[in-house]
Amino acid sequence: MVIKKVLPMLFLVFISCYIYFGLGRYLFHFCFFDDFLGFHCPLCKTTLAIEFLFQGNLKSSIQTSIVGLSIILYFIFYQVFLFFGELKKICILDKLFIYLVLINYLYLLCQ
């Protein structure tokens, strides 16, 4: 039972290391929104924002995408609430994250 609660945190550590070392820059990039529809998706530039955040450049991270910082906080709080069984707080956190993604999307459309 404890492994089910710890496994998502291990996944986050793996993703964090993946982004911190910049391994995402060497992969083939394909975006359905950008390539076929001609506009950015709601999570566009999030990986770049997280890379800036891991490099200690908070200002560039927020300017690139506000979802970068919020996705890190989302996953941390999600795991904490899940560990302590606070399901109502997880529902509130989910709604808040969706609103932040929509705000980021509007921000990208205005650029």
Quote the CA–CA distance of 33 and 13 in Å, as a whole number: 28
Q: pLDDT at position 26, please?
A: 65
Q: How many Cα atoms occupy the beta-carbon half-sphere of 32 within 13 Å?
A: 2
Rounded (5°) CA angle 40-19-30: 35
Q: pLDDT at position 24, please?
A: 63
Quote the CA–CA distance of 39 and 109 in Å, as a whole number: 8
Quote the CA–CA distance of 48 and 11 in Å, as a whole number: 19
Question: Would you say 74 and 97 are in contact if contact means Cβ atoms under 8 Å apart?
Answer: yes
Q: Averaged in consecutive runs of 10 residues, what is the pLDDT profile of the chain (111 residues)?
A: 71 75 66 75 79 86 86 86 88 91 83 73
Q: pLDDT at position 89, please?
A: 93
Q: Global pTM? A: 0.68
